[in-house]
Structure 1
Amino acid sequence: MAAHGVTIALRVLHYVAPISVVIYFVLAKTVAACFLHQPSKRAGLGSRRYAAIGLLAGVLVTIVAQGTVYVLEATRDPQWSSSQDAAVYILANLLAYASLTVGIAENRKPIWHQYIGSWTVGLVMEVVLTALQPLAEPTRNRYAILCEVFHVLRTLLLLILTVAGCACALYDRQKLAHPKETEPLLPNGTNGHATKPAGYGAVTANGNGTVAHEADGDEEHDVDSDSEEPDRDKELKATQKKRLEESGSWLNYFKDFKIFIPMLWPYRNRFVQSCLGVVALVTLAQRFLNVLVPRQIGIITDQLTAGGGNGVVPWRALGFWMLFNTLSSSAGLSLIKSLAEIPVQQFSYKSIGSSAFRHIMALSMDFHNEKNSGELIRAVEQGQHLQGLLEFFLFEVGPMFTDLIIGFVYVYTLFDVYMTLILMGVGLAYIYIGAKTTTWSVKARRRFNNAWRNEAKVQNEAIANWATVSHFNRGSYEVQRYSKSIDDFNAAEWKYYIAYYIGGSAQSVVMLLGRLAAFSMAVYRVAQGRAPVGNFVTLTLYWRSIESPLMQVSWSVRRLSQMLTDSERLLQLMLTKPTVVSAPDAPEIMIKEGEVEFDHVDFAYDPRRPTLKDVSFTAKPGQTVALVGETGGGKSTIIKVLYRYYDIAGGSIRIDGQDIRNVNLDSLRDSFGMVPQDPALFNISLIENIRYARLDATDEEIVEACRAAAIHDKIESFPDKYKSTVGERGVKLSGGELQRVSIARAILRQPKIVLLDEATSMIDAETEALIQKAFKRLTAGRTTFIIAHRLSTIQHADQILVINDGQIIEHGTHEELIKRGGKYVALWSKQLSKDVEEVGQALEGVGPEQAVLDVGAGSSEGTAVEGGGSDER
């Protein structure tokens, strides 16, 4: 009875021992990757690696020798055969320790604790197996004794590996804790060359382009980038790496990604949730159908074999096969799944796009002044690719691994554990070869992409600069350059595709060998009578369902990497916070009088260089305040901080006694009517552009605003009148027309406070006289701020502030400032001299008659040049 229990324990341990080693190593490697464990500085010593490889090779020799003993014994005695658990132990142990050996051989700087722990687990198992083996087989022949000897040798080798590994780890820890004074201050290598600093290479990209832990090797893999902007992708990878290192682990790194969860999961959309449920059910059903369809063929085969020739048709089995086959066809469950996925994808696409766009619109001016519009648009576009992230994990990655697990279990039920081992060996070899060949082809792929871009660059530059090529008669030279670029491209393409096709062929060979081995094993079992013919037919049909997820592993890892890169770009955007926001529960601003007060305001775009310094003034209700001064003095900045594009650093800005930082931002900006110096329009019709100021305005109100802005007659002269499109940013209009449209929008808005930033800088004198009348109507009863370089336009202002170097150096009316004879007078004199000089230059070199005619024409036609440009194009 005791011997029987020992035998059972021995058989169980035969399965458990290699599995325990593999499970520990996988878990340790996963933990090391998640928590960014780094190899020690002495991890890459060649003596340690080669010694470990040699000892592991000895372990492999003992395993192979023990398997050879089993084969020799079976050859000597045909009636004897090793138990299945013993054969599994040999094969699985061979696979486990071979993987550990390859891991150390490939990585120049391994993380040793992963391997030491695996050796320790293996040592414990071998000690128990060595002790149980003689107890389970009291009567032993020479083959049994040989197996025990190999067990003992293997145990000793694992003991040496474990003890030596622990000793080295302790020695390294002590050496790092108490470094010798002779060690260099900087972490230099033995040859005096700088090595990578601690943490360098912790995260990089493997051959599939995926972000991976690089602690197991000191060679940094290149990123296989198909992007049109490889430099930007490198920057993103570097940012990703830095953020990962700062977070300390992948778990903390992924915490920031929770910002995408509300965008991807339809919390409140019951219809989309229902569609997700349908997709989940269909995906689950497809997992069953992958097994049921070939299984049903096997059942039909067995029934036909058993009753062949008797005229009995297995209608029931055939009917089920027809049903399963119909459901698994593209017109069955796949169609339902495709239709249900559309609303899910559309929800994610809209949610990500609208959330990102809303975030961009809410960001402050400091962000938009520094932005790259193309990069920003690309971030949103690539971020919308994350719409498939939810489906990818739930309905692609999950089913893929489920199919593999089901495949392992199902082939075991069809035949035995040997078939499962074949499948596992094929899977590991297929994935390993795919990863290695992809890694080898990365540099070739990068050279191929660079050569491709260089060919296009040489061609485009030569064609675009044909005139220059022709001027210097360099046509033959450019042809030679282009021909050489094609040669470089062909050479790079050749090298890349050699690596690509060899890798693909190697994977195909592995899959072919696995298929042949599995089918041979199946035929052998059927011939022995240990399995029906139907099982062989089932296996041949089911094998495709096993190959498919294996082939998808590399693709899935690569796609996940691309999704992470795209999401990193969008994540950086979404984590950018606006610097100007409304205070929590801020009330809406209430403007009754329109008094604006600047109270000791300080502001700086860069803290090292103040822009506004102790600015204080009060604009009484209905007053017009003009800001004048030299360029860069701070005039526009005063308007920007009033509009609250930026928050001030010191002091306060109050409107009717309300600090603008304590009121709702939208209500504040709704109170202003802005006419910018450089207005921009949307590429839509004129009437839509003007209505943008007040979306509920009627056509009649728009026309009236255009009359007041002296642009109505001009619009009526256009072929399409108010329906005329203006081009991107309004390029179809002249500068004067743009400003008058902008003024019309401000008039239509009916603001409580008016802000005019060089609103008449590109308008001729005659039109300006008309607009000044419109301004009087616009500003009547409203507090108005005007920035002007043409001092003649602000003589009527109630208060003129002279700004210089961020400070108000003079203030008063035009008459008061003229009498004072300060900076304002100097500016006025310079402008008068400039105007006289421009008139003189215009008249110089023409005859008196022509001059009189030109001036007269300009006066009557209203086309005087203003600042080097006219109102008309």
Structure 2
Amino acid sequence: MTTTTTTTTASTTSTNMSPGSLPWVSNPTALLILTYLQVISPILLLALYVITFTVRSVLMARNDDDPTTAPEQLGPGGKPLPKGKKKNGNHNDNTGESSLASAYDFSKPRKLLFEWVSVGVLATLAGNITVVIVHALVERGERWWCGQAPTIYLVGSFMVYALFLVTLIDSKPSPTFAHLVTWAVALVMEIIMLGASFGVYTQDHREPKVDDPNGGELQRDMTEWEITEVTLDLVRIILLLALVSFYTLFVFLQGYKKQAQAGSAEEQTTLLANGHGAENGTASGPASGYGGTNGKPRGPHEAPAGWEKPKENPTRSWWEYIRAYGIFVPYIWPSKDRWLQINFVLCILIVLVQRGVQVLVPYQSGVITNALAGDQGPVYMPWGAISLYILYRIFQGGNGLLGAARQVLWIPIEQYSYRELSVAAFEHVHMLSLEFHLGKKTGEVLSALGKGSSLNTFLESITFNVLPMLVDLGVAIVYFLVKFDAYYALVIGVVTFWYIYITIRMASWRADIRRQATNASREEDAVKNDSMMSYETVKYFNAEAYEFNRYRDAVKKYQVAEYGVTFSLALMNTIQNL
């Protein structure tokens, strides 16, 4: 009797249960693991790469406190002046800067191997995306769709692995330990997701539909689409395993080769220190570093002058740039003026408030639209919401009330920085050697001394334009994710990624162009000022025509460089708008 009742109850329960609520996934744990990993995988990989890349950059940065660094010079008020390198016979500063990167870099064939395997990983993701699109088009009548988690995983992972490929091609050295850690973690997650996929697809499960992940056709086994998906996932795992294995093998071989070279060098070292086998001019060589038949010194080549203008952008990491700019902190931060410090804090607070206003303006616009459309009740005129919108608009942007207040508060700080930097540069020129002053171009030096506001402009642009823009982009992604849907956040994230990448690459490309324009401008000022200051000499030698042509050539050279700067800026703005 009890058995019959239980059977009847179970039968009734099964009959009353709707098809959409049946536990069609026989392994819900596998589905849960797969869903969560698909969502967090691209975010975790990107965060892990950024963290490891940052830590590695800090640890591998060159140390300026080396024996070749000139003694520290102090400027006004005991503030340090920028350090210079002693002459060590190295004509190219970038050679020493890039030697550290070359020591940890792979050979070109090995780098090509990593790049092509990474292209293969991207191709597998592109294949997965193609399978999803074709599947959705073929079964659009059944309203099939893979769902949010797979979409986030495929698009996000494609962008992350594209970033890895770009860093392999652009950066030096590459690949690095940051790539290895990211590849290893990605390999583990891909293996777990592959196992979860098998756990879901090999048992009874329903295919996903639009707005219903379990509302599609019941499948007893893996379909052709799922077999293709799993095959591509398996190929991706093999390629990631190859990347990790190749990196480990090549690093081991490099270490073994260095040990062998070190042992060989020790065996060939002479008994006398420093290789001075014949210190007093005996058969092995003369003393005092002189040799050859003409008695010429065989020491290092003469180093270029310390004030020579660099023609190319120096190869430095981001951390080395930040540490180098740290020398300007005493000139920028008003350490002895409380009022200026309060102004600085108020400027930062205003920037933070502006970030909130940037979010409130579109939100309030949506409130007004909903009220006028009647989405939340009867249609009415939202005077209160309109008043708030007008108030937010008054405070919004750099031209708003908050922006104007920030500019006014920043004026004394900017004047303080300009004053300190200009005086420091002026004092630094006076402290240079007689050799410099005998061979200097007065006009060029005066032009360089007049560039004291450039650093202020740069710092103001970074503090009040670039950093707030990055914060706004991050807030936009989070807001769309919470308020609307993951797809909106994904679109904003992809657009943000490409915007930041293109901006960085274009800015790096324009650095040398701007440097050439700056040098051409200084050369033009040098020709103009030196010619006017040497008026008597020009007249005495009847060199007016020569000076006119020399100045005309300098102006043409500057105009060519200026055209390159303007064109590159217009091109960058156009690409950013796209």
1:267-293 deviation line (CA, Å, top 9, x unaligned): 884x65655554444333222111111
Letter in 1 for 2:499: Y
Letter in 1 for 2:571: I
TM norm structure 1: 0.44
Alignment partner of 1:417 is 2:486: yes
Alignment partner of 1:21 is 2:21: no
Q: What does 1:480-629 correspond to in 2, within 5 Å? A: 480-509=549-578
Unaligned runs of at least 5 residues, structure 1: 187-228, 510-873
Looking at structure 2, the residues matched to 278 and 42 of structure 1 have their Cα atoms a distance apart, in angstroms, of 45
Structure 1 residues 482 and 379, CA gap change in structure 2 (3 angstroms): closer
Letter in 2 for 1:14: Q
Please state whether the residue corresponding to 1:148 is helix, strand or coil: helix
Paired position in structure 2 for 1:295: 363
Q: What does 1:785-796 correspond to in 2, within 5 Å? A: none
Looking at structure 2, the residues matched to 368 and 110 of structure 1 have their Cα atoms a distance apart, in angstroms, of 42
Of the candidates 10, 23, 43, which is equivalent to residue 105 of structure 2?
A: 43
Looking at structure 2, the residues matched to 323 and 482 of structure 1 have their Cα atoms a distance apart, in angstroms, of 55
Q: Would the aligned equivalents of 2:371 and 2:379 in 1 still touch at CA under 8 Å?
A: no
Structure 1 residues 343 and 481, CA gap change in structure 2 (3 angstroms): closer
Alignment partner of 1:163 is 2:245: yes
Paired position in structure 1 for 2:330: 260
Of the candidates 159, 163, 178, which is equivalent to residue 95 of structure 1?
A: 159
Paired position in structure 2 for 1:144: 226
Letter in 2 for 1:6: A
Paired position in structure 2 for 1:216: none
Alignment partner of 1:306 is 2:388: no
Of the candidates 472, 482, 488, which is equivalent to residue 403 of structure 1?
A: 472
Letter in 1 for 2:246: A
Structure 1 residues 453 and 315, CA gap change in structure 2 (3 angstroms): closer
Structure 1 residues 39 and 171, CA gap change in structure 2 (3 angstroms): farther
Looking at structure 2, the residues matched to 98 and 321 of structure 1 have their Cα atoms a distance apart, in angstroms, of 41
Q: What does 1:732-771 correspond to in 2, within 5 Å? A: none
Looking at structure 1, the residues matched to 536 and 33 of structure 2 have their Cα atoms a distance apart, in angstroms, of 87
Alignment partner of 1:429 is 2:498: yes
Letter in 2 for 1:148: V
Structure 1 residues 147 and 446, CA gap change in structure 2 (3 angstroms): same
Q: Would the aligned equivalents of 1:25 and 1:114 in 2 still touch at CA under 8 Å?
A: yes
Letter in 2 for 1:260: P
Paired position in structure 1 for 2:119: 57
Q: What does 1:152-551 correspond to in 2, within 5 Å? A: 152-179=234-261, 231=307, 260=330, 264=333, 269=338, 275=343, 278-306=346-374, 312-328=380-396, 330=399, 332-341=401-410, 399-458=468-527, 476-509=545-578
Q: Would the aligned equivalents of 1:74 and 1:81 in 2 still touch at CA under 8 Å?
A: yes
Paired position in structure 2 for 1:699: none
Structure 1 residues 52 and 386, CA gap change in structure 2 (3 angstroms): closer
Alignment partner of 1:81 is 2:163: no
TM norm structure 2: 0.64
Letter in 1 for 2:45: V
State, as a whole percentage, how many aligned pairs show the same letter. Answer: 23
Q: What does 1:664-813 correspond to in 2, within 5 Å? A: none
Structure 1 residues 456 and 170, CA gap change in structure 2 (3 angstroms): same
Looking at structure 2, the residues matched to 493 and 383 of structure 1 have their Cα atoms a distance apart, in angstroms, of 20
Of the candidates 162, 171, 194, which is equivalent to residue 107 of structure 1?
A: 171
Which structure has more relative contact order (CA 8 Å, sep 6+)? It is 2
Displacement of 1:377 in angstroms is 12
Q: Would the aligned equivalents of 1:352 and 1:387 in 2 still touch at CA under 8 Å?
A: no
Displacement of 1:342 in angstroms is 5.2
Q: Would the aligned equivalents of 2:364 and 2:388 in 1 still touch at CA under 8 Å?
A: yes
Of the candidates 102, 117, 121, which is equivalent to residue 185 of structure 2?
A: 121
1:80-124 deviation line (CA, Å, top 9, x unaligned): 001111011111111111111121122353252222222111111
Q: Higher helix share goes to which structure?
A: 2
Displacement of 1:19 in angstroms is 1.9
Structure 1 residues 178 and 370, CA gap change in structure 2 (3 angstroms): same
Of the candidates 130, 149, 158, which is equivalent to residue 68 of structure 1?
A: 130
Displacement of 1:340 in angstroms is 4.4
**Quick check: which has more Rg, 1 or 2?**
1
Displacement of 1:65 in angstroms is 0.5
Looking at structure 1, the residues matched to 551 and 193 of structure 2 have their Cα atoms a distance apart, in angstroms, of 70
Looking at structure 2, the residues matched to 328 and 486 of structure 1 have their Cα atoms a distance apart, in angstroms, of 42
Structure 1 residues 314 and 385, CA gap change in structure 2 (3 angstroms): same
Letter in 2 for 1:45: S
Looking at structure 2, the residues matched to 158 and 337 of structure 1 have their Cα atoms a distance apart, in angstroms, of 50
Aligned residue-pair number: 454
Displacement of 1:438 in angstroms is 3.3
Unaligned runs of at least 5 residues, structure 2: 1-22, 62-99, 205-221, 269-304
Q: Would the aligned equivalents of 2:102 and 2:172 in 1 still touch at CA under 8 Å?
A: no
- Cα-Cα RMSD: 4.9
Q: Would the aligned equivalents of 2:101 and 2:172 in 1 still touch at CA under 8 Å?
A: no
Q: Would the aligned equivalents of 1:264 and 1:352 in 2 still touch at CA under 8 Å?
A: no
Please state whether the residue corresponding to 2:471 is helix, strand or coil: helix
Q: Would the aligned equivalents of 2:115 and 2:168 in 1 still touch at CA under 8 Å?
A: yes
Structure 1 residues 260 and 390, CA gap change in structure 2 (3 angstroms): farther
